[in-house]
Structure 1
Amino acid sequence: MNIKLKISNIFMILLGSIIFSFGIINFNMAYHLTEGGFTGIALILYHLFGLSPALMNLIFNIPLFIIGYRFLGRTSFLYTLIGSLSASFFLFVFELFPVNFALNKEDLFLVALLAGVMIGLGLGIILRAGGTTGGVDIFARVTKKYFNWPMGRVIFIFDCIVLVITYLALGDIRITLYTFICVYVGGKIIDIVQDAGYTARGALIISEHYQTIGDEINTVLERGVTQIAARGHYSSVNRPMLYCVVPKNEITRLRQLIHAIDPHAFISMLEVHEVHGEGFTLDENKQLIES
């Protein structure tokens, strides 16, 4: 059994769990909002019967661990186990030691906004590190793995179902709508955190000096370059087009390098959301996450 757990991933999962739990207890629970997923159901039970969200969150996730183990593999399952247990633990800690922000309970927009940012940031960090907090997160990671569906969108759909349950259980449309704001913001933040580490630019370069430009990109920027066969529509001239991917912090250097060789070179920049392979995910010194 080959299981590889990275200390950095475990640290990020714990950090994300702290942020997530802090938001749940000090914004959602403190100001009578709920949430999406199984955490939302736990908050509904808290508002109705005073049951501990930390305890209920743990109980709800026990049967889902089996699903995580079956579909995510041993390594992802262990990350999920760490995320679920740490989330329940920090929920319990913040239940014992809550922070009073003294926000206006009559105007819940700011509360919902802050809650969404905290929860989305926490979950986004956990998901990027390969873990989940259990519940809907497990389904989101499974659908991401097998169908490449955005995890934030999957979580948002499940959250909407819980919002309907929130309204039916609590009978307060105001709480439901502010919870919707929280859930929506959280879903967007998750996607932003998921994409942030991979955001790069793909450069399409057309120049008579393509060989020199390609060599300079290889040696100066230490980036790979691909030559693509191209033909000008008007000139009918065959000339290779260069394609390379660089992180955002190297875009200016790339432009300067190209213009120094050929000021008339045609450059088109494309936004790249995910990159895998040598020079990026396989090279510790060139990780896009560092940009």
Structure 2
Amino acid sequence: MKKSKFREYLIITFGIILVALSIEYFYAPNNIAAGGVTGIAIIINAVIPSFSIGVVSFILNGLLFIVALIFIDGKFGVKTIYASLGLSVIIWAIERFLKPVAITNDLMMATIFGTLISAFGMAIIFNENASTGGTDILAKMLNIFFHLDIGKSLLVVDFVITLASAFVFGVDVALYSMLSIILLGLIVDRVIEGFNACKSIFIISKSNYEISRYIIDTLDRGCTFINGVGAFTEKETNILYAVLSRNQFIKLKKFIKDVDPDAFITVGEVHEVLGEGFNDIKQH
């Protein structure tokens, strides 16, 4: 079932809040500029304290959108604009009304927990086909004008930000910033895989028809019959194939146990499913 727009934006907002909390309570108080527009904003805020991180990131994101429209012919989804500018607004609100202080002054703890919270928030946002950072635009410009791969371009942008933080905060803090960037990329991918993980199921059973009706009518999922021949019996048989969420598979397994305890089932882990009933392939 497709999610409502309201739910999508609610999920994105939750992800934005997590990223903002990691910035204001772990990164910024410890001068960890972990890449992105907010990393630049943390550096600028340290040099010019009167420029708040929220305001600076809002201005930078706005400027980068304009640059993209001029040089790249950028086409941004509404959700990406909402996420990037919304993050700046929430950061500003936290600074303005909550007066945040560091939860920990231990740089390693701040890096680890700040990265975990930020990665979870960013994974939520990315999973809704949105993005929080204008530095993607800088990476795209490097790709166009210097023919660098997007991945390498992003590394170059983050490296430059980390290098700038080394001049402002010192090499030790900059290395923690680099560690955060590396961990962030690894964790975000793993979290997104966890969000989208499903079970790929093959079933051989004398009750395949009843099982297929349960999948379609009760679980509201599709399934497919595949014609097969048993190598040992040399008899034709139907193999039932379906892709389900973890919760749906648990329900299906209980149903199969009731209708055919002798059924043969194989289950595989699928990290992403696109198409009918799952994520829209046009958005990926």
TM > 0.5 between the two? Answer: yes
Is the Cα contact below 8 Å between 1:132 and 1:138 reproduced in 2?
no
The 8 Å contact of residues 40 and 162 in structure 1, kept in 2 or not, is answered as no
Q: Which moved more, 1:158-167 or 1:33-42?
A: 158-167
For 2:28 and 2:86, how far apart are their aligned partners in 1? 18
Q: 1:30 deviation in Å? A: 0.4
Q: Which runs of 5+ in 2 are unaligned?
A: 141-149
> Is the Cα–Cα contact under 8 Å of residues 156 and 184 in structure 1 kept in the other structure?
no
Q: Distance in 1 between matches of 2:103 and 2:217?
A: 57
Following superposition, the deviation at residue 254 of structure 1 comes to 1.3
Could you tell me which residue of structure 2 aligns to residue 79 of structure 1?
A: 79
Please give the secondary structure, in 1, of the residue aligned with 2:242: strand
- Give the CA deviation at 1:267: 0.7
- The aligned amino acid for 2:5 is K
Deviation at 1:48, TM superposition (A): 3.8
Q: Deviations over 1:221-271 (max 9, x none)?
A: 343220123233444433221101221112222122223333222211111
Q: Go from structure 1 to structure 2 and tell me whether the alpha carbon gap of 1:63 and 1:118 turns closer, same or farther (over 3 Å shift).
A: same
Q: TM-score, normalised by structure 2?
A: 0.76
1:156/1:183 contact within 8 Å kept: no
Distance 1:136 1:117 in 2: 20
Could you say what the CA RMSD is over the residues aligned between the two structures, in angstroms? Answer: 3.4
1:47 deviates by 3.0
> How many residues get paired?
263
The match for 1:239 is 237
Q: Secondary structure at the match of 2:267?
A: strand
Please show how residues 14-93 of structure 1 align to structure 2 within 5 Å: 14-50=13-49, 51-66=51-66, 67=68, 70-72=73-75, 76=77, 78-93=78-93
Question: Does the aligned pair in 2 maintain the 1:33–1:178 contact within 8 Å?
Answer: yes
Residue of structure 1 in register with 2:261 after alignment:
263
Give TM-score scaled by structure 1 length: 0.74
- Extract unaligned runs of 5+ from structure 1: 142-150, 283-291
CA distance in 2, matches of 1:162, 1:189: 22
Deviates more, 1:30-39 or 1:272-281: 272-281
Residue type of the partner of 1:91? I
Letter in 2 for 1:131: A
CA, structure 1 residues 189+17, in 2 after alignment: closer, same or farther (shift >3 Å)?
Answer: same
Structure 2 match to 1:288: none
Q: Between 63-72 and 267-276, report the one with greater CA deviation.
A: 63-72
C-alpha displacement at 1:204, in angstroms? 0.7
Deviation at 1:279, TM superposition (A): 4.1
Change (3 A) 1:72 1:201: farther
User: Is structure 2 residue 101 aligned with structure 1 residue 100?
Assistant: yes
Q: Is the 8 A contact 2:19 2:117 kept in 1?
A: yes
Please state how far the C-alpha of 1:72 moved relative to its aligned partner: 4.0
Question: Per the alignment, do residues 27 and 221 of structure 1 end up closer, same or farther by CA in structure 2, a change over 3 Å counting?
Answer: closer
- When residues 222 and 21 of structure 1 are mapped into structure 2, their CA distance, relative to the original with a 3 A threshold, is closer
- Secondary structure of the residue that 1:133 maps to in structure 2? coil
Retained in 2: the 8 A contact 1:20–1:123? yes
| Distance 1:22-1:171 versus aligned 2 partners, 3 A rule | closer
In structure 1, C-alpha distance between the alignment counterparts of 2:193 and 2:156, rounded to whole Å: 21
Q: Report the secondary structure of 2:230's partner residue.
A: coil
Equivalent residue number for residue 165 of structure 1: 163
Secondary structure of the structure 2 residue equivalent to 1:33: coil
* Residue aligning to 1:286: none
**Aligned AA for 1:217?**
I
Cα distance change, pair 263–24 in 1 and its aligned pair in 2 (3 A): same
Equivalent residues of 1:35, 1:43 under 8 A apart: no
